[in-house]
Amino acid sequence: MKCPYCQSMMVEELLDYTVDYEGHTLTLEDVPTWVCEACDYSQVDEDVIEAVEDMLEHLDTVQADPDELA
């Protein structure tokens, strides 16, 4: 994979990935991330983003809203 900005080679590293989701900040560890060695641009693998979105949707159905239970 090449960097979209400088066309240098990108390497895959396992990094923390922080997601903002409806006011919540979630940090995922060891997420496969493409990192450009030349300009430090980083991009999380698309498959990972899809998996994270699936997980967040699932979270939504699992976590009950405390206000609705009261």
Question: Which spans of this chain sit near Zn ion (rule: CB under 5 A)?
Answer: 3, 5-6, 8, 36, 38-39, 41
Minimum distance from CB of 10 to Zn ion (Å)? Answer: 7
Beta carbon nearer to Zn ion, 28 or 42: 42
Q: 44 is written with which tokens?
A: 């999380």
Beta carbon nearer to Zn ion, 40 or 65: 40
Beta carbon nearer to Zn ion, 10 or 31: 10
DSSP secondary structure letters along 6-69:
T--BEEEEEEEEEEEETTEEEEEEEEEEEEETTT--EEE-HHHHHHHHHHHHHHHHHS--HHHH
Minimum distance from CB of 39 to Zn ion (Å)? Answer: 3
